[in-house]
Amino acid sequence: MTQQTFASPWPSRPEPETPGAGWLAWLCQHVQPDWRPGEWDHERMFFDGDLDNDATGASRCKVVACQTPCPGRVGRCSPCAVAARSSDLPDDEFDATYQPTRKRRVRGISDREACLVADSSGRCARESVSHGLCPTHASTFSERRRRSPELSVADWQLAAQPQPLAHQGECLVGGCVREQQQLRLCGSHHGKWRRELSSGRHAPDQLLEWAAATGPFLQVHQFWCGGLHPVVAHELLFGLQERDRAGLSISPLAVRLAIAAVAGVDSLCGLDVSALRFGREKGSSPARALLGQIQRMVERARRQCEGADPMAGEVWDAAAVGLWAATHRRYDAVKGDIDFRVVRQQWLRTVLLEWARSVRPTIQDLRTSLLAFSAASEGLSQRAAGGDAPSRLGAADMTAAVDAIKKSRKKDGKPRASATQDKLVRAWFAVLEVARASGLMDDVPGAFSRARHHRVAPVEVNEEHVGRALPDSVVRQLDAQLHLLDVSHRGWPRDLSQLFHQTVYAVLRDTGRRLGEVASLKVDCVEQEDEHYQLVYDNHKAKRNGRRLPIAQSTAELITRWEQRRAELPLTERAGQWLFPSAMHGSGRGNGHIRGDSISAVLRTWVDSLPRIDGDMPGPDGQPLPFDRSQITAHAFRHTYAQRHADAGVPVDVLRDLMDHTSVDTTMGYYQVTLKRKREAVRALAPLAVDRTGRPAPLAHSKYEIASVAVPFGNCTEPSNVKAGGGSCPLRFQCSGCPFYRPDPSYLPAIEDHVRDLKADREAADAVGAADFVLTNINAEIASYQDVTATMRDQLAVLPDDERLEIEEASKILRKSRATASHKLLPLTAINPREEDQ
C-alpha cells in the first residue's frame, strides 16, 4: 500500500483554545509524522491499516472469496460468520468454497478509481461511480444508452469523444478522500447531510460546523483523529507510537471507540477514564484499557515536559516512574504507590532510594527490596540508637537486621516460606553491595556486612504433598460446567478462546503435568503407535526434555482438534512451535507461549464464577456443604491424577514413571494409608470374600491378614504359601482352580484385567493351532474368574448406596496398600548361561 498526500485543507471551523501551548509544542516535537508509512497520513490524521501487518489488529476475512476487512488477526466478517454457523461443512472446507452473495469493497486512502474517459490531454480526474465513469460522464452515457441499449462504454467514447474533466476537489468532511459532488460534499456525505436536514437536527447554515464534527466513513481497519482537539489528537498519537515502539499491536476498532469517547475533551491528562462512555459496541473493554494505558504514558510525558522528576520524592507513583512491571512483564507498571517512608532510618532510606534511581529495577524487584529494607529497619530500630547512627553499626547489628527479615510475617500474620525469606535476604544484601561500591556507605563500618551464618537454611518442600487431590465428585462438577469456561484470550474469537482454554484444562486434568510443562507443549506433541497415544513434553523442573506419557485417546483427539483450529491463527515465528501460543506473541514479550500464571488466572476466574460446587461432606440439613474453591488450583490436578492412579492400585514404580519423579519416596506419599484406615477397610471387605466357585466364603477380619496372603488376583489361605509370604504357590498362581482362593471386591479391577489377558492368550493360542486341552484350560479359567466377579458384583448391587460407597473407598485403601508391596514372582530357577557353558 503506497501513501498519498492531498493538498486540500481540513474544513474551516473556529480554532479551539489550546491550553498548554508549550505542551502541544512538546508533543509535536516528539510525534513522528512519518510513522507507519503506507498506513498513517499525518496531514489528514487518518489511519488506513495494512491488513497484512501483524502489528495492526485487523485482517481479511478467512473466506477466500470474500477477503472483507474484519477486526482481529483471525476470523470471518459478520455475514460469512453467520453463514458458517448455519453450514454443515468443516471450517476449512467452508472457507475455501463459500461464495459470498455480495463482496464489500475495501476503501482506503489510495484506492480511488478514476473515470475511464481519456484523450490526448490526459484522463478524466474525477472518481468513477458507475460503468467506470464519473457522475457527469455516466449520466451522458446512460442517456445515449436508453436510445441504444447495446451501446458499450468503449463505443460511446469512440462516437461521442467526451472531454476529460478536472477534479472537483475533495469532500468537505475532514478525512474523507472522496470527491465532492454537491455542496462540496461527496455523494455519501451529501446523503447523510440531507438526512440531518430532514430530521431537523441541523439547519442549512450549519453545514461547515457539521462537516467539521463529522468524520469520514470508516471500516474496521481505519480511524481518524482529525475531529479531536489538537492536544488530544497528538496525545493519542504519542501514546500509539509509544505502544508501537514497545511492540504492542494496535486495534483500529479500539482506537475508534477511544476517539469517540474523548470527543470534546481538551486533554487526556487528569481525565477520569472510568467515567467515560464507550457505547455498547463490542470492544469497549479493550478500548477503555487502551485509553487508560495511553493516558498513563501521556501524563508521564507531561511531567517530563514540565521538568518534574517522578523519582524525586519518597513516595513514587508506580505508573509515573516508567519501570517495568517485572522481568517477565516488560511493560510499564500501571498502578500503585511505592512508599519508602516505611524504612525508619533516614540513611538507610537514602541508600534504597539512590539504588532504585540508579539501577532502575522492575517494580516487582523494587517492592521485594523495599519489603526487605522495611523488615531490616524494624530490626535495627531495636538496637542502640535505633540504627540511626550508621558509623556505630557492627556485625551484631547486621545479624539483628537479617534475623528481623527472616522473622517477618505476611500480612495475614503467617510466617513466610523459607524460599521467600531467602529471597528477601538476598535482596537486602544485593542493594547494600551496590551502595557500598558506589560510596553511599563510606561511613558504615566494614563489620556491618554479610557473614556466613547470614543465610536461610533451605527447607525441602515436597510439591507432591498428599491431601491436595480434588475429590472425584468435584472434578465431575467442573467437567459438567466446562461450557462456562468462556474467558477471552486477548481479542481472539469467542469460540477459539473457549476451545483454547478448555483444551488447556483437559490436558491439566488428564495428564497431571505441571503448569510449565503444559504451557510449553509443542505442536505435534501427540505421538501415535498402533492404537496407543503418548504425550511428548519437557520436564523443566528436573531438566529432562522429551519425556513421554501414555494418554487416553479422548485426550489425544481433543489436542488434535485444537491443533486443527490453531492452524487458522496467523502466528508469528516465535509462537509457531507452541501448542498454546500467547495472545501477546506479536508484542515481543515472553517466549511465545502462554504463561503458567495466565493459566492459573483463567482457572481462578472460571472456578469463582461457577454457580455451585459441592463437597463430599454433608451439612446439618443433610445437604452437601460447598467445596472450598481455593483448593481448586492448576497444580491440584497433578495431585488428583496421581491419587487417582494410586487408588486404582497402580504399582508404585509405575506411578513414579508416570509422574516422572526422580525418587520413589516422593511417589510413596500417595500410597500412605494409616493403620486405622486399613483396619476399617479390612473390617468392611472381609465378609464379602468368596471362594473359587463364587460362593460366599467370608473371612473373620482378625484373620484377613494373619491367615491369608495377598496374591495377584485375591487372598490365598493355603498355609505353606501364607508362611512363604505368597512366594510358594503350588499351582503357579492359577488361583481360579485353587480351593484356598479367597478374593474380595478390592481385587475386582485386577481380576477383570487378568480375564482380558486370558482372552488375548486364548486368541493367540487358537491362532497358532494349540492343542485342545490348552484352549480348554484357558476357557475354564476365564469362566471361573467370571463367576467370581459376577458373584461379587451381585453382592455390591444389593447393598444400600452408603454401604456400597464405603466398600469402594475400602477397596481403594487396600489396593494402595498392596501396590507398595514387593512384587511377587513365579518361583522359577534362574540359569546363568555362562555356568551352563562350563
Q: Which amino acid is at 362?
A: T
- pLDDT of res. 8: 35
Q: What are the extents of the domains in the chain? A: 315-437, 482-609, 676-819
- pLDDT of res. 234: 94
pLDDT at position 401 over 50: yes
Instruction: Kindly report the average pLDDT of the chain as a whole number.
Output: 81
pLDDT at position 528 over 60: yes
pLDDT at position 209 over 60: yes
How far is it, in rounded angstroms, from Cα 307 to Cα 315?
18
Give pTM, 2 decimals: 0.54
**432-441, 590-599, 609-618: which is most confident:** 432-441
**Grid coordinates representing 790?**
459376577
Q: Which residue has the cell 526487605?
A: 372
> Which of residues 833 and 378 earns the better pLDDT score?
378
525-550: average pLDDT: 89
How far is it, in rounded angstroms, from Cα 133 to Cα 700?
103
* pLDDT band at residue 7 under the 50/70/90 scheme: very low
Q: Which residues, other chains included, contact 139 with Cβ-Cβ below 8 Å and sequence gap of 6+? A: none
pLDDT at position 358 over 80: yes
Residue 223, classed as helix, strand or coil, is: strand
- pLDDT of res. 233: 93
223-237: average pLDDT: 91
95-143 pLDDT per residue, tens: 889 988 765 554 444 456 788 998 888 889 888 888 888 888 999 999 8
How far is it, in rounded angstroms, from Cα 141 to Cα 116?
12
pLDDT at position 196 over 50: yes
597-617 pLDDT per residue, tens: 889 989 999 999 999 999 877
> Of 374, 394, 386, 520, nearest to 447 (Cα)?
394
Residue 59, classed as helix, strand or coil, is: strand
DSSP H or E stretch at residue 122: strand 122-123
671-695 pLDDT per residue, tens: 654 444 445 555 655 666 777 776 7
686-730 pLDDT per residue, tens: 666 777 776 777 765 555 554 566 677 778 888 787 767 677 787
How far is it, in rounded angstroms, from Cα 181 to Cα 552?
68
Topology of domain 482-609, CATH = hpI Integrase; Chain A (1.10.443)
- pLDDT of res. 452: 87
How far is it, in rounded angstroms, from Cα 335 to Cα 273?
14
How far is it, in rounded angstroms, from Cα 710 to Cα 821?
10
Tell me how crowded residue 786 is: count the other CB atoms within 10 A of its CB. 16
153-162 pLDDT per residue, tens: 889 988 888 9
Residue 67, classed as helix, strand or coil, is: coil
Using CA atoms, how far residue 226 sits from 193, 229, 294, 438, 623, in Å, is 19, 8, 18, 51, 63
494-511 and 472-480 are packed helices; what angle lies between their axes, rounded to 10 degrees? 160
Share of the chain above pLDDT 90, in %: 25
Calculate ∠ Cα 815-820-826, nearest 5°. 95
* pLDDT band at residue 589 under the 50/70/90 scheme: low
* pLDDT band at residue 369 under the 50/70/90 scheme: very high
252-261 and 284-305 are packed helices; what angle lies between their axes, rounded to 10 degrees? 70
SS3 content of the chain, % helix, strand, coil (to 5): 45, 10, 45
